[in-house]
Structure formats: C-alpha cells, structure tokens
Structure 1
Amino acid sequence: MRDGVPQVRARATRRREVATWLNTGAIAVVAAIFAFPFVWMFLTALKPETEVFGAPRAFGSEIRWSNFAEAWTIVPFGRFIVNGFVVSVLGASLAVLVAIFSAYAFSRLHFRGRDALFQGYVLTLVLPQEVLVVPLFIFMNELGLIDTYVALILPFAFTAFGTFLLRQFLLTVPAEYEEAARIDGAGRLRTLFSILVPQLVAPLSVLAVFSFIGYWNSYLWPLIVINSQDKATVPLGLGMFTGQYGTQWSLVMAASTMAVIPSLLMVVLLQRQLIKGVSLGGLGGR
C-alpha cells in the first residue's frame, strides 16, 4: 500500500503537467488566431501597392517603410489621431464619472422605484446604435452642437454598461465601511471617493478601457455629426484613403496599424487591472 502512494502522486503530477501543457497550447493557438489579422495588416502595410492583392506572401518584393510616412501626410492623419485621442480620453473620463455616481445611487441610495428604474436603464443596452442616431442627431441639432466635440462625446457617455458593472461590484462592498466613515464625520461624496472608489480600481480600469476603445473605434456617429475635416476622428480619416480612383490599400493598412497603437498601449499598461476586473466579474464580483 505504501509503495502505491508515490505512484498515485506521480500519476497525478503527470496528469497536471499534461493538462497544463494542453491549456498552454490551446491558449497559444487562440492567441495566434487573434493576432494573425494584425500581423498580416502590418506586413501588408510594408508592401508596394501593386503587390497587396498579388500572391499571398508575407513579404513583398521590397519593404516600404515610406508607406507609413505617406499615410501620415497624404491626409492630416496626425490631426485625426489627436482628435480621436481627445474625444476618447474625455469621453471615457465622463463615462467613468457618470457610472460611479449612477452605480452608487442604484446600489446605496433607497428611493421608490429604484429597482424598476435600474431594470429599465439596463434594458437600454439592447438598443442598437442605429436606432439611436436619428433622435440623437435631432437633439444635437436643436442644441446647435453639430460638428463639435461635445456632440461626439456627450451622447454615449451615459450608457448602462458602466452603471451595471460598477453596481455589481459595489453590492459586494460591506456597508460597514461607509458606516465607519460616517461615524468619523465623512459625507456621502467623501465616502464615495475615499472609501468606495479605491476598491473599484479593477472594474474602473475595465470600464475606462472599454469606453476608450468604443470612442476610438466609433464610426457611424462621427460620420453623421461631423462635417469638417479638422474635427474628424481616426475611423473617418481611414475612409479618406478611398477616392475616385479606388482605395490605396497599402496606405490604409499603414494608417490602420498606427490607429491600433493607442488602444494596444492602453490595454498593455492596464493589463493587470483588466485581468483582475474581468476575473472578478466572472465570479459575480466575489
């Protein structure tokens, strides 16, 4: 019997090692599948225009780094990057601030119809953007905000996604923390930003990244409300590479590669908090 115990442990150890290798291999395959389009986009950006739709080869007859410089100068792409960055940062900041206050109201304040109002608010998530753009455009036009940064930022900062996300986390925070703060004389705002918000770093990071990427990649709404080139964002700028005589695909790929960098950097810098936030969210905030 004693001789069998080490053998059982050895078999269990081998099974764990095999399971680990299989999981690692599966993750590597999935990562390669997701990374392939971005790698191909970058390699296409380095090809001559005449070889983009030629034989499916990774590299062209020459490597043209000049495609990036040409994509930057053929249209005011630097201006589009700045516009997109300003809109995305301000929009994500406003979305986070709105979510903090609304999630606090729905999780900590008690008023008649709170739960029904929250359910109705969450139901707005099922409405596609295409349904909202017409009434939003009419509203922005009545306020005289067409072709402004405000029109790009304001409408989609008040979404139920951030409120729902933060509310679920706030419900898991013990109320004793707030009671202790109130005993020490702290008001609601100080309690919110000094006690509760520091415990929401992970979900706030998730919300900030998702909001930033949402604003950065938005195409339909900027296409409708922006009329001047000096306020165009990156997706609108990418559309300017398609002209009367066709699309310059090598330049589109070069511009798209540059457009991916800000979102990629944000994800890399906040990856630890993102992983923590997503993992906690998958466990219902526990």
Structure 2
Amino acid sequence: MSTTAELPCSGGRLDVGKAVRLALATVLALVQLFPLLWMVSGAFKSTEDARGASLIPQHPTFHNITEVFTRIPYAKYLFNSLLTSVIVTLLLVFFGSMAAYALARLKFRGREPLFAVIFSTLMVAMPVILVPLFMVVAKVGLVNSYAGLILPVAFTAFPIFLMRQFYLQFPRELEEAADLDGCGYLRRFVTIVLPLSRSMLAALAVTTFLSTWNSFLWPLTVAKDSDLWVVQVGMSQFQNQYGGDWSLIMAGSLVAAVPTLLLFLVLQRQIVESVKASGLKG
C-alpha cells in the first residue's frame, strides 16, 4: 500500500508517513518547550500579570530579575554552581576518558572484573550512599568546603563506561602509526586518541556539566554554610521564603537556566557529531 498521495494543486507527491512523523515531532517539541516559554514569560511579568493565564506579559519588566539579586546573594550561588560544575566536568572528562582508554586497550589481569565492579556502581543511587558518603567526608574534614562539594562527585563510573564503549569501536589502524614511531600508551592517548574523541568528549562534558549544575541532594547535605550554597539549593530556600511571588521564582529559575542553555547551544554541533561517531566501527 502506497504511503504517498497526490497534491492536487502542485502535482507533487506527499509522503504521508513523513508528514505524520513531522506533525508528531512538532507537537512533542511544543509540549517540551511550553514550560520553558512559560518560565520566560513569567520572569518578565508584573505581580498583577502573574495572576493571569496569558503567555505574553501585558506589562513586561526587568524588575523581577534585579529583585532576585537584591533579596538574596544570587550571584554567589551562581558562582558556586559554576565553579563546582566546571571543576567536576574537567576532572570527570579527563580522568574518566583516561581510565576508559586503559580498560579498552591495556591488557592486564583482572581487567574485566575491574570494569564489572566499576560498572556496578552505576546501579547504586545517591540516596543509598548519602549517609556513608557524608560520614567519610566529615571524617576527613571536608564538610562545608568546596572540596567536599567537588571531590565526592568528581569520580564516577558513567564517563568510564561511555568512553570505554567508544574506544572499543575506535579503529586500531589509527594508532598503528604511533606504534611505528615508538609512542607509548600515554603519548598515543594524548596525541591521537583525544583529538579524535572531541565530539564524544564534548557530549560527555555537556551531560556532566548539566548533571552537576542541577544537583541538589549532595550540595544540600554537605554545605551548611550559605556562602557555599549552589544555585539549586539557593533557589529552594528562596522559594520557601517567597513562594507566593511566582514572578520572582520564574526570574530566578530563568537566570539559573541561562548557562545550561548557552552551553547546549554552543556545543550542539559536537553533540550531534558524537551521536554519529558512536556508530564508528573498527
């Protein structure tokens, strides 16, 4: 049965199946975008406009955004989130990719059991290890410190798993020239493998940054001093205090979302390329 139909006006042919998929994708995109559009709209609404159901502000104002920075040390929260997210991302991407390459290329006894142990940690949720992890951090004196915010979450199994799967499909022929030149594993990794892994590393960096930026449970647990609060914890406390003023809540949420949106827009090409590269066959 044909999935095309004649266009009576132009004489062309319309792929009905493709049109249905396009319409479905458009609807899903609008559903996903509507909360974001509502947040942007609410951030610029006055208190009176916020009570209405209109998506377009009747009296747009920037007062809400400036008011958020005035009522709480929001700039400090943003700085703490940016600092922790950047450091965690750098540590995870660098050491995770290095460990993944070792597990994919080096041959040593116990390699597979070691990877199985690392992989099994992905099955353990943060709430399960929250108390023992906090006890360890408290024992070494890292509570209420940037080190306590960063180090416990800077070494996880997901980057190792993701990059190992990529390196297993990485063509060995690309590394043979380095073998002929007498390059060791470390030099081969730095000069050949890393430059050819840029797209996957970019995708890993984006997901890691977003995960760290949006983290709430661990920063809430380890940082009792408000000077160390990240933006998610600060917004939670702000909402508890000004929960009735939705314009302020939307303004704070918009400011918190801007860095992640900018990061995605800048690196979206690398993310698409990483999806293509994941199908690379050796």
Same fold (TM over 0.5): yes
AA aligned to 2:208 is S
The match for 1:144 is 141
Measure, in 1, the Cα distance between the counterparts of 2:124 and 2:53: 40
Which shifted more, 43-52 or 109-118? Answer: 43-52
Q: CA deviation at 1:61?
A: 4.9
Instruction: Report how many residues are paired.
Output: 273
Measure, in 2, the Cα distance between the counterparts of 1:248 and 1:91: 34
Deviations 1:36-60 (A, max 9, x none): 00100111222233553x3422245
Consecutive unaligned residues of structure 2, counting only runs of 5 or more, are none
Match 1:252 to one of 239, 244, 249: 249
The match for 2:100 is 103
SS in 1 for 2:257: helix
The match for 1:22 is 20
Measure, in 1, the Cα distance between the counterparts of 2:171 and 2:57: 60
Q: CA deviation at 1:18?
A: 4.1
Are 1:198 and 2:195 an aligned pair?
yes
Provide the TM-score with structure 1 as the length reference: 0.88
Measure, in 2, the Cα distance between the counterparts of 1:23 and 1:276: 23
Deviations 1:196-237 (A, max 9, x none): 111211111111001000110000100011121222111011
| Paired residues for 1:103-182 under 5 Å | 103-182=100-179
Provide the TM-score with structure 2 as the length reference: 0.89
The match for 2:220 is 223
Q: Please say if residues 241 and 247 of structure 1, whose CA atoms lie closer than 8 Å, have aligned partners that are also in contact.
A: no
* Paired-residue identity, %: 38
The match for 2:88 is 91
SS in 2 for 1:35: helix
The match for 1:46 is 44
Q: CA deviation at 1:174?
A: 2.3
Deviations 1:127-158 (A, max 9, x none): 11101211111111111111111111111221
Consecutive unaligned residues of structure 1, counting only runs of 5 or more, are 1-7
- Distance of aligned partners of 1:243 and 1:22 in 2 relative to their CA distance in 1, 3 Å threshold: closer
Are 1:270 and 2:253 an aligned pair?
no
Q: Please say if residues 49 and 59 of structure 2, whose CA atoms lie closer than 8 Å, have aligned partners that are also in contact.
A: no
- Distance of aligned partners of 1:32 and 1:246 in 2 relative to their CA distance in 1, 3 Å threshold: closer
AA aligned to 2:46 is P
Q: CA deviation at 1:278?
A: 2.7
AA aligned to 2:275 is V
The match for 1:3 is none
| Paired residues for 1:7-86 under 5 Å | 14-15=13-14, 17-49=15-47, 51-52=49-50, 54-86=51-83
Q: Please say if residues 75 and 240 of structure 1, whose CA atoms lie closer than 8 Å, have aligned partners that are also in contact.
A: no
AA aligned to 1:258 is V
Which shifted more, 246-255 or 196-205? Answer: 246-255
